[in-house]
Amino acid sequence: MEKFTVHTGTAVPLRRSNVDTDQIIPAVYLKRVTRTGFEDGLFSAWREDPSFVLNNPAYAGASVLVAGPEFGTGSSREHAVWALNDYGYRVVISPRYGDIFRGNSLKQGLLTVELPQAAVEALWDLVEADPATPIEVDLVAREVRAGGQSWAFSLDDFLRWRLMEGLDDIGLTLRHEEAITAFEAHRPAFGVLVG
């Protein structure tokens, strides 16, 4: 996973709430067995509409997505995160996320920043007035800066550290393999065994 400290880029205003993972990437794109190349599926139904914001050339090359509340609700598909990453996003900003999506994003180096609705509205106004507005997302300081304003966000210390170091969870857990083995020795006899 790529290390994340500070990212500066332009942003797309997605003025919608409840953007579920079926919208981020419809199920037909989930049949693939690869881990990359999902950019074609990103918002594919909405992208057919020429007036959809991602089709506006002014927002081409944006790397920050600013969306309404309840972003990424629904299906657990990590493909939603892969599609956002593959399309070129490094950061999503929304007032609230679906839990599983949020967990998936932070494991894949896609920083999902939670800011209050008012901050999201302010960012929408800024980037709609000038799509070239640079948005600075500072994980070290836990702050978003744009248009002379700044907004603090919170993120758990452990998650922040893992993102900043670009660490892989499995490697971290396997450092405690002895504890896992010790736990397994004391599982109840009536526990289910499939095999």
Partner 1 sequence: MSRTLAQKVWDAHVVRRADGEPDLLYIDLHLLHEVTSPQAFDGLRLAGRKVRRTDLTIATEDHNTPTDNLLTIADPVSRTQIETLRANCAEFGVKLHPLGDPQQGVVHVMGPQQGLTQPGMTIVCGDSHTSTHGAFGALAFGIGTSEVEHVLATQTLPQALPKQMAVTVTGELPPGVSAKDLILALITQEGTGGGRGYVVEYRGPAIEKLSMEGRMTVSNMSIEWGAKAGLIAPDETTFAWLKGRNFAPKGQDWDDAVEYWRSLPTDEGATFDKEVFLDASTLTPFVTWGTNPGQGASLDSLIPDPESFGTDSERAAARRAVEYMGLTPGTPLRDLSVDVVFVGSCTNGRLEDLRTAADVLRGRKVADGVRMLVVPGSAAVRAQAEEEGLHEVFTEAGAEWRFAGCSMCLGMNPDTLAPGQRSASTSNRNFEGRQGKGGRTHLVSPAVAAATAVTGHLSAPADLDAVGAR
What CA–CA distances, in Å, run from 145 to 2, 6, 135, 151? Answer: 22, 11, 6, 6
Q: Site mask, partner 1, residues 39-78, x = CB under 8 A?
A: ------x----------------------xxx--xxxxxx
Residues in 7-26 at the binding interface with partner 1, rule: CB under 8 A = 15-18, 20, 22-23, 26
SS3 (DSSP) at 62: coil
> How far is it, in rounded angstroms, from Cα 131 to Cα 3?
27
185 touching partner 1, by CB under 8 A: no
Do the Cβ atoms of 110 and 135 come closer than 8 Å?
A: no
> How far is it, in rounded angstroms, from Cα 90 to Cα 65?
8
> How far is it, in rounded angstroms, from Cα 176 to Cα 183?
11
117 touching partner 1, by CB under 8 A: yes
Closest approach of partner 1 to the CB of residue 111, in Å: 15
The interface region with partner 1, picked from 56-64, 136-144, 147-155, 171-179 by CB under 8 A, is 171-179
172 touching partner 1, by CB under 8 A: yes
What is the residue whose two structure tokens read 């978003």? 144
Among 60, 116, 149, 183, binds partner 1 (CB under 8 A): 183
Q: What does DSSP say about strands 143-146 and 135-138: parallel, antiparallel, or unpaired? A: antiparallel
Site residues (vs partner 1, CB under 8 A): 15-18, 20, 22-23, 26-28, 30-35, 45, 68-70, 73-79, 81, 96, 98-100, 103-104, 107-108, 117, 156-158, 169-170, 172-174, 176-177, 179-180, 183-184, 187-195
